[in-house]
């Protein structure tokens, strides 16, 4: 019975790659993944970096064999545009939360605001918010928060490359943020409010870039659903070779067979240092494996992709 069930559950071959969704406000990242599984006809879909339900914008998905490549995608920095409201604190640090404090005094002027923003540029420490997916003792913090519990959280170091004031119309200000993976813009908003002494929360947020994926590549769920209905959603998949940012190595048919068996192959050109990872591909440009150059000029497979990944 187990064998028959496995046979029924086996998916048909299909193309692998990355799909960039323009996430709407109100959707969770898992909502997008579930929808994409329906569009693409596969369970093998995973998102690359959670977006809060309030936020919109770039949510990259790895599809089928590309899920094995996620650790090798280069440049995990993010870019955002958002609106912050001064004078109001909330328990979630964003507009979806319960108001915990209102500031009754005057709000800061633009010069004080710009000076406060500059203090958050560079390497900083952030305490993860209680309403987040970070786990404490194996339990997500947001579950504890919904039970009315608050626990101590360890601060983590993140990097803010750019924090620019785009507009200020009190109590609202618009910002542009370039930051490292793991940075909470909600926490930036709340910490800014604390520094100014008036409180603040994140009112709106849009992610415009996530690693190598840009908002110009993103498609709305409505358009993707239409493409799936028309049988052409595979055209929206971004090939892995251009995303990985690794040196590319073209393999002949015999080398592809050896790699798929898990065997090492001798390295040819280019002369790279040991430890270098390479994206090995076949004649059609499909990524076959991630190879590591070992001492002795041998290439060892670190990840081998499914042979039925399909063609674009």
Per-residue pLDDT of 245-295, as tens digits, reads: 899 999 999 999 999 999 999 987 667 888 899 999 999 889 999 999 998
Number of independent structural domains in the chain = 3
- Say how far apart CA 278 and CA 299 lie, in whole Å: 9
298 plus 280 within the same structural domain: yes
Residue 8 confidence class, pLDDT cut points 50, 70, 90: very low
CATH number at residue 99: 3.30.2350.10
269 in a structural domain: yes
Other C-beta atoms closer than 10 Å to the C-beta of 222 total 10
Q: In residues, how long is the chain? A: 312
Per-residue pLDDT of 49-63, as tens digits, reads: 889 999 999 999 999
- Say how far apart CA 291 and CA 280 lie, in whole Å: 7
227 plus 161 within the same structural domain: no
Statement: residue 105 has pLDDT above 70: yes
The stretch 177-203 carries a mean pLDDT of 97
152 plus 199 within the same structural domain: yes
Percent of the chain with pLDDT over 70: 94
- Say how far apart CA 288 and CA 307 lie, in whole Å: 8
Tokens of 122: 């560079």
Question: CB-based burial of residue 296 (10 Å sphere; 0-12 exposed, 13-18 middle, 19+ buried)?
Answer: exposed
pLDDT at 270: 63
Question: What is the per-residue burial (b if ≥16 Cβ within 10 Å, else e) of 107-118?
Answer: bbeeeebeebbe
Q: Residue 90's beta-bridge partner residues?
A: 99
- Say how far apart CA 75 and CA 21 lie, in whole Å: 18
- pTM (2 d.p.): 0.88
Residue 12 confidence class, pLDDT cut points 50, 70, 90: low
Return the active site residues.
52
* CA distance between the termini of the chain: 35
**Domain membership of residue 231 as a residue range:** 12-76+213-236
Helix (H, G, I), strand (E, B) or coil at 272: coil
309 in a structural domain: no
pLDDT at 3: 45
CATH number at residue 295: 2.30.130.10
pLDDT at 309: 45
């Amino acid at each position: 019975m187990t064998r028959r069930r496995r046979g029924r559950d086996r998916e048909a071959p299909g193309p692998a790659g990355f799909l960039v969704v323009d996430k709407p406000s109100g959707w969770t990242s898992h909502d997008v993944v579930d929808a994409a599984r329906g569009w693409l006809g596969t369970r093998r879909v995973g998102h690359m970096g959670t977006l809060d339900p309030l936020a919109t914008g770039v949510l990259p998905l790895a599809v089928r064999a590309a899920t094995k490549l996620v650790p090798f995608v280069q440049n995990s920095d993010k870019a955002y545009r958002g609106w912050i409201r001064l004078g109001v604190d909330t328990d979630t640090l964003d507009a979806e939360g319960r108001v915990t404090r209102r500031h009754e005094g005057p709000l800061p002027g633009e010069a004080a605001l710009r000076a406060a923003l500059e203090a958050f540029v560079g390497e900083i420490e952030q305490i993860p918010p209680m309403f987040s997916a970070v786990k404490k003792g194996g339990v997500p913090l947001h579950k504890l928060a919904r039970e009315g519990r608050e626990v101590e959280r360890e601060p983590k170091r993140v990097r803010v490359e750019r924090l620019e004031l785009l507009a200020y119309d009190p109590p609202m200000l618009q910002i542009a943020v370039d930051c490292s993976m793991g940075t909470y813009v909600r926490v930036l908003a709340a910490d800014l409010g604390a520094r100014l002494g008036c409180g603040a929360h994140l009112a709106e947020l849009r992610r415009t870039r996530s690693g190598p994926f840009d908002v110009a590549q993103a498609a709305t769920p409505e358009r993707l659903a239409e493409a799936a209905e028309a049988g052409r959603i595979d055209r929206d998949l971004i090939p892995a070779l251009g995303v990985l940012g690794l040196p590319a190595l073209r393999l002949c048919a015999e080398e592809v067979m050896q790699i798929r068996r898990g065997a090492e192959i001798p390295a040819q050109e280019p002369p790279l240092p040991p430890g270098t990872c390479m994206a090995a591909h076949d004649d059609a440009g499909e990524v076959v494996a991630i190879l590591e150059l070992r001492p002795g000029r041998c290439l060892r497979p670190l990840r081998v992709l499914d042979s039925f990944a399909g063609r674009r």
